[in-house]
Chain A
């Protein structure tokens, strides 16, 4: 399974390359005009597989890869992952011809209550067991690889037994999944734990990266919040460059923005800056959609 996953990682690197963006209906027009856009993510729970939004379908027709990104599977929930949610994710992948799908190392509900956001897991053997079982159940229904994203969290569990890189390495090895590494999440957690973000990156299983996330955030009351509604800070951009310097080839990288959308030119400039920092040369600002650069 691990050998197959390694081969899978290489294939994914071929399928998913260059720069992408999280597709959201509010910015569909800006996304459609981004220069050298190679892939986008859609929130799986917001996607109706039989009727994908027109903007997404048009990108797909242009050859832009579409990756369904689950946010409510609750793979780390102590209860078994809900079968209907897995079926939905698989249907999304089939509907958009996705090269892979992604979800989080997280749980979002327990005891009959929805948390409303991604919550951290205790990094324990017990949680590894729960995650492994849920991930395997999900993989059993998927025809494409699954990438897992470590989240940004404002707190840790008192029962933690592993560091985050060790926990993830063990999880990916057990399940044969790929890594969706959110550079901004690493920054957020390092700041909030008082750690050196670069040292954390260096210990991450970078050989399993399917793609990277980048997003903005801001500090509030001494804590860094991964808001997705602020610009990408310089420190996160620098951490991206450090991450890329530790990888053998420029990885696929994607910008996430989830509200307080800036003017089109600003979003386009941020997308271009992220692409360049990850080693993907961008055409000069021309506004023409569908331009391609050699990978």
Chain B
């Protein structure tokens, strides 16, 4: 578990962003071809839009698969029981759920897989407990980052 060095749901130490007023200007026009090509490429890799012109499609497929495997590995750290319950099927199951969907971070990535398996009745008791634990600690609507539940609530969490 990476909680001792990173408490953020995105797995990243919280960096305050948004203080760009004092940042020097004069950078290239963001509408340059490089900006557009980079945006097109990243969208193809993480959201499943069509590949930008000129790239080797098989290599982009391999990159998409590698990105999903990396995400699966990071999510497994937040969902050890869920990942262990699937064993070698963890990465393929993860890819089925997330192919073409951008990440909200490893916590949400694993959460989505847990809910998908729960809906199919395929959660082991250990993984179900892990999901219950997460649901009791945080509210996650499947779209935005998890946040504390509003109002008084009994805590069933193990922490």
Contacts and interface: CB of A to CB of B under 8 A. Distances in A.
A280 interface: no
A83 B22 contact: yes
A80 interface: yes
B2 A223 contact: no
B42 A115 contact: yes
Nearest to A133: B27
A159 B44 CA distance: 18
A48 B38 CA distance: 30
B26 to A, nearest CB: 9
A114 B37 CA distance: 15
B66 interface: yes
A49 B11 CA distance: 16
Contact of A159 (B17, B20, B54, B56): B54
Contacts of A159: 37, 54
B62 A154 contact: yes
Contact of B55 (A85, A137, A157): A157
Contact of A88 (B11, B15, B70): B15
Interface in B60-84: 60, 62-63, 66-67, 70-71, 73
Contacts of A83: 19-20, 22-23
B14 to A, nearest CB: 9
Contacts of A144: none
**What is the size category of the interface that chain B forms with chain A?**
35 or more
Contacts of B6: 46
A111 interface: yes
B12 A72 contact: yes
A47 B5 contact: yes
A25 B41 contact: no
Contact of A115 (B5, B17, B67): B67
B35 interface: yes
A40 B55 CA distance: 37
B38 A111 contact: yes
**What is the size category of the interface that chain A forms with chain B?**
35 or more
Contact of B35 (A72, A78, A129): A78
B96 interface: no
A4 B13 CA distance: 33
Contacts of B24: 137
Interface in A225-273: 225, 229, 259
Nearest to A153: B63
Interface in A60-109: 72, 77-80, 82-85, 88, 107, 109
Contact of A78 (B20, B28, B66, B102): B28
Contacts of A124: 34
A78 B4 contact: no
B22 A46 contact: no
Nearest to A91: B15
A85 B18 CA distance: 10
Interface string A32-75: 00000000000001111000010000000000000000001000
A127 B42 contact: no
B87 to A, nearest CB: 13
Contact of B17 (A45, A84, A119, A223): A84
Contacts of B4: 25, 53
Interface string B78-120: 0000000000000000000000001100000000000000000
Given A110-B41, A113-B47, 7 more contacts: A45-B15, A82-B20, A111-B39, A154-B63, A158-B54, A158-B55, A223-B59
Interface of A: 25, 45-48, 53, 72, 77-80, 82-85, 88, 107, 109-117, 119, 122, 124, 126-127, 129-130, 133, 137, 154-159, 220-221, 223, 225, 229, 259
24 contacts: A45-B12, A46-B2, A46-B13, A47-B5, A53-B5, A78-B34, A79-B27, A82-B20, A83-B22, A85-B15, A85-B17, A110-B41, A111-B38, A111-B39, A112-B39, A113-B46, A114-B46, A114-B102, A124-B34, A126-B33, A130-B34, A137-B23, A159-B37, A225-B66
